[in-house]
Every structure is written in structure tokens, then in C-alpha cells.
Amino acid sequence: MKSILRALAVAAGVLSLGLPLSAHAAGVDDLTEATVKKVDQAGGRVTLAHGPIANLGMPPMTMTFAARDAAMLKRVKAGDKVRFRAEETGGGYVVVRIEAAK
């Protein structure tokens, strides 16, 4: 009974903040599935065929992103399945996190 009341209290707290439960549970680090098409190590850029990017309201497409840290691109190569997070900065889109898909 205490665990049910605790869960209801947490839900009420989240709702009072105006946040949907799904957004709270998912967190802000939602990652997008993609396939690496090309890595430009020297230019610090990566081309990804990606699914919808929720935090940017972007539909699926293939596009080139700058990498916030070019060193992260050493972990990926063309053909790899990855999960990534991109953010809009200064009028462009930047990959701020990338990891091998599980």
C-alpha cells in the first residue's frame, strides 16, 4: 500500500510541474537510431541516415552533422548502426553524443 501511495505522489508531483509522465521517464537524453554513411575525421563531420529526431522536430533523412568533439568520431565508421543526440547551435546541427546501437 505504501508503494502505491508513493507512486501516486510521484505522479502528482510530475503532473504539477506540467510534465507528462512519458517525458519524465524518458529523460532529456533520448537518442535517435541511425546508420553512419560517412565520417570526415579531418573536418569533424559525420553523415547519418537517421530516424526522426524528436528534440529537433526533424523527420527521418540523411544529412551531415558537425561533431561537438571530433574525437567521438574515432569510434564510428561507415556502415555502423548508432544512436546519437543532436542539438541546434548557432544555426547548425551538432552531434553531442554518439554510441554504437545495442
Structural domain count, the chain: 2
Encode pLDDT of 31-75 as tens digits.
999 999 999 999 999 999 999 999 999 999 999 999 999 999 999
Same domain, 38 and 21: no
Same domain, 37 and 14: no
Same domain, 22 and 40: no
Same domain, 15 and 65: no
Same domain, 37 and 2: no
Same domain, 41 and 90: yes
Asked whether the beta carbons of 83 and 34 are under 8 A apart, the reply is yes
Asked whether the beta carbons of 44 and 70 are under 8 A apart, the reply is yes
CATH code for the domain in which residue 35 is found? 2.40.50.320
Same domain, 51 and 5: no
pTM, rounded to two decimals: 0.71
> Which residues lie across from 85 on neighbouring strands?
97
Structural domain span for residue 19: 1-27
Same domain, 46 and 94: yes
Per the prediction, the chain carries an average pLDDT of 82
Same domain, 54 and 73: yes
Which of 59, 60, 68 shows the shortest CA–CA distance to 88? 68
